Structure 1
Amino acid sequence: MSPALPQATAAVLSGLVLALATSSLGAAHAASGTRGDLVAAWSPSMTTAGPSFDRQTIRMVAHSSVAGVAARITLSNRYSSAPLAVAEATIAVQAAGGTAVPGTVRAVTFGHAARVTVPAGGEVAGDAVPLAVHAGENLLVSLYLPNATGPSTWHSDAFDTSFTASGDHAGDTVASAFRASTSSWYYLSGLDVVPSTAQGAVVAFGDSITDGYHSSTGTYHRWPDLLADRLQAGPGPQRLSVVDAGIGGNRVLTDVPNPWQGVSALQRFAHDALGQPGVKDVILLEGINDIGNNAGPNGTPLTVAELIDGYRTLIGQAHAAHVRIIGATLLPIQGNGYYTPTAETLRQTVNQWIRTSGAFDGVVDFDRVMRDQNNIAALNPVYDSGDHIHPDDAGMQAMADAVDLRLLRSS
């Protein structure tokens, strides 16, 4: 922890920070045309039953999908049974690993207070911090947790590296104190920015395929990351951010017995998708875990009608929130343990409904792009990570490329 500043000096610096924030936010209003509204730039969906921490600092990487002039974090304790005390929080630009770019470490406050207690079952958003953020840039968010937390609210499969240290090292620039690493995110459920140009957000909502399972760790080759890259590389200023709301193992209709795989889409959609700042579009790719587990809503075998009813419920929630929802067809699974002739019939029937019903505001036909043209029940071997259900990095790129950007509402 940094030595305490004299009270007068601290007051002057606090005033400067507030002035800078006001100036930066005002500049963003003019630059983005969004009246300074925050836009979600990164936001993993959270689940329950993560590990406990005690007098430790967690340093996590947040990969921003869009540029901005100020950043805000959200801390989630939604799936924990005890209040979460955070004694210090910082945000910085990542240099490499757990090391920050010198001069970029910023203290995060919560209602202008350095400390915050997040109630059990609740969330708290920090104050916006003046910090130039570039599209595709990594930020380091550090939290010092001074008390035993009990089971944490977390996102198990980050496909990125987080770092932990004993004691308070949230303000450190170098990573020498961070002697352990993990592959999960804890309590950090959102990074929003005051955008430089973006006017809204796209939420990719789904299961492990959207979460990035089998994509290369730390390379940001999940298909939502690659979709953000396409939006950033397109002509003109980037108008949309992309948020990945995938959870491995997640289902549309029922909660998964493994708690870290999340409550059902029906239970989490309003929060994880429609609750994102600036959300304008949702791309829904979910249902293969319902089919593969033959998991109907009442513990009975799944029917096509039940899964379609689930989709219609999500469509209704999106439209009630004035958000467009784009349906994505389910990828092939032959060769995976999920595959049976019955499961394949369900998948094909559901996909045909997604394509032809007109219930969605648009369709991304991942199935046609990803399947083996000589065997439509199987993934194209070029895109198969090896388990016959999850795409490799090339497959993730093909999925991102399959999204017709004209489907996305940029204003």
Structure 2
Amino acid sequence: MRKLATTLVAALGIALVPGVAAGSAPVPGATGVPGPGWNAAWAASPHAPTEFLGPNWGVTGFDNHTVRQVVRISDGGAALRIRLSNAYGTSPLVVTGATVARTAQGAAVRPGTVRHLSFRGHRSVTVPVGGEVAGDLAPLPVAALGQVTVTLYLAGPTGPATGHAFASATSWRASGDHRADVAADAFTEAAQSWFYLAAVDVVDFVPRREVVVAFGDSITDGVGSTVDADNRYPDELAERLGGRRGVVNAGIGGNRVLNDSACFGEKATTRFGRDALGQPDVRTVILLEGINDIGFSQFPIECTSPNPEVTADQVIAGYRELIGQARARGVRMVGATLLPFKGAAYYTEAGEAVRDQVNDWIRTSGEFDAVVDFDRAMADPADPDALRPAYDSGDRLHPNDAGYRAMAEAVDLSVL
């Protein structure tokens, strides 16, 4: 099927075709023959820039900089496109040029694989404030579970940059225009965040509607996993599926179901339509969120204001709103129980009681299409309110690489 798809790309001249807005609408073929749709293969939920974790390029933005970002895609295809977000920008974003290539090592890319990207036939694009644009189809065959490098050249001042702070991956920056460089020499600055890049989609000649979106907070985002190792639980789930379908990560560290945050993104009930239901060919969402709603009410910091104390009924009401949004779009919802957090910085016995009530509802209500019991899979047999020590990254809240692998193994693949 992949070989046939590659042949069709060449035969139809699809490399010349303008892109379309995010979604699964067909791409028109150059010959007038209806073209393919898209499968989401990688994503990072955008939010406003923050320095909560320390200095971040996104707060001031870029000016005559080239930004190079490496991502691992969950599903392969004969061609791809990127999506760029200016959701939280304060002025229109001008991207002077962009490329995509197969990754070599670090900031280097493989010779002969660099493709200049276009946007409706032009190499430059302006993304409006609050907006997102999809690039044109780029004729670069990519393998499932392979890495691609996306490079953006930003010639003028951008202002604050929409991005994703908890990348658990290294991005690089160079002064001047180095979008087509194969070598890494010019990229002398590094950060562990993503900037502007919201998604990578692969061409889909036979629409399958089988993409899985992992939606949640820092545990879905992969905080505590090894940087640049792609060991977040959605990555591990994609590996279990063997690249047979797209799995994308819609986690935001610190995110909550019921309240917005200046540092950790809009609340789940607001961003769900964009970050989960807006992914091309989405079929199933795994929802793992709510522990921050419970914990932050006992741990007031600037980034969590407002931080009201929440009840189990309030969290459940938020879940029901998300389930309703998904059902209205014909998307299946898998509810995930909240992980143990005894010993974490914001743990309290009152919070534990709320977690227990929420988890009991997830398991027994029958309102989700299926349930994955991360709580029981990750609990310490000697103390079920705490993470199993072998799965703890050290803060009693976030799993380590082994823990994220155990989470992926707890998912019954048949429910996807």
**TM-score over 0.5 for the pair:** yes
Cα distance in 2, alignment partners of residues 212 and 17 from structure 1:
40
Q: Residue type matched to 1:110 in 2? A: F
Cα distance in 2, alignment partners of residues 299 and 137 from structure 1:
40
Give ranges in structure 2 of 5+ residues lacking alignment.
1-9, 20-25, 50-57, 299-303
Matching residue within 263, 271, 274 for 1:271: 274
Matching residue within 208, 211, 225 for 1:215: 225
* Partner secondary structure for residue 238 of structure 2: helix
* Partner secondary structure for residue 152 of structure 1: coil
Q: 1:157 Cα shift?
A: 1.2
Scaled by the length of structure 2, what TM-score is found? 0.87
Q: 1:382 Cα shift?
A: 1.0
Matching residue within 396, 403, 409 for 1:395: 403
| Counterpart contact for 2:16–2:121, Cα < 8 Å | no
Matched, 1:159 2:168: yes
Q: 1:251 Cα shift?
A: 0.3
Cα distance in 1, alignment partners of residues 305 and 155 from structure 2:
41
Matching residue within 312, 316, 321 for 2:324: 316
Give ranges in structure 1 of 5+ residues lacking alignment.
1-15
| Counterpart contact for 1:293–1:338, Cα < 8 Å | yes
Aligned to 1:246: 251
Aligned to 1:44: 44
Cα distance in 2, alignment partners of residues 91 and 297 from structure 1:
39
Aligned to 2:380: 372
Q: Residue type matched to 2:13 in 1? A: A
Cα distance in 1, alignment partners of residues 112 and 272 from structure 2:
38
* Partner secondary structure for residue 68 of structure 1: coil
Aligned to 2:15: 21
Map residues 67-146 of structure 1 onto 2, 5 A cutoff.
67-146=76-155
Scaled by the length of structure 1, what TM-score is found? 0.88
| Counterpart contact for 1:67–1:197, Cα < 8 Å | no
| Counterpart contact for 2:214–2:250, Cα < 8 Å | yes
Cα distance in 2, alignment partners of residues 181 and 18 from structure 1:
40
Deviations 1:277-316 (A, max 9, x none): 0100000000000000238998642111111000000000
Cα distance in 2, alignment partners of residues 243 and 341 from structure 1:
34
RMSD: 2.2
Cα distance in 1, alignment partners of residues 307 and 392 from structure 2:
31
Aligned to 2:391: 383
Q: Residue type matched to 1:366 in 2? A: F
Cα distance in 1, alignment partners of residues 397 and 88 from structure 2:
29
Q: 1:66 Cα shift?
A: 0.9
Aligned to 2:235: 225
Q: 1:179 Cα shift?
A: 1.1
Matching residue within 136, 143, 148 for 2:157: 148
Aligned to 1:283: 286
| Counterpart contact for 2:37–2:207, Cα < 8 Å | no
Q: Residue type matched to 2:212 in 1? A: V
* Partner secondary structure for residue 127 of structure 1: coil
**Are the structure 2 counterparts of residues 264 and 17 from structure 1 closer, same or farther at C-alpha, using a change threshold of 3 Å?**
farther
Q: 1:172 Cα shift?
A: 1.2
Matching residue within 187, 198, 213 for 1:189: 198
Cα distance in 2, alignment partners of residues 269 and 161 from structure 1:
26
Cα distance in 1, alignment partners of residues 114 and 97 from structure 2:
12
Sequence identity (%): 51
* Partner secondary structure for residue 396 of structure 2: coil
Q: 1:17 Cα shift?
A: 11
Q: 1:22 Cα shift?
A: 7.3
Cα distance in 2, alignment partners of residues 79 and 160 from structure 1:
22
Deviations 1:330-349 (A, max 9, x none): 00011112211110100000
Q: Comparing 373-382 with 268-277, which one deviates more in the overlay?
A: 373-382
| Counterpart contact for 1:66–1:198, Cα < 8 Å | no
Q: Residue type matched to 2:357 in 1? A: T
Aligned to 1:206: 216
| Counterpart contact for 1:46–1:154, Cα < 8 Å | yes
* Partner secondary structure for residue 38 of structure 1: strand
Q: 1:69 Cα shift?
A: 0.6
Matching residue within 328, 333, 349 for 2:336: 328
Count residues in correspondence: 379
Matched, 1:56 2:65: yes
Q: Residue type matched to 2:327 in 1? A: H
Q: Residue type matched to 1:47 in 2? A: H
Cα distance in 1, alignment partners of residues 103 and 329 from structure 2:
35
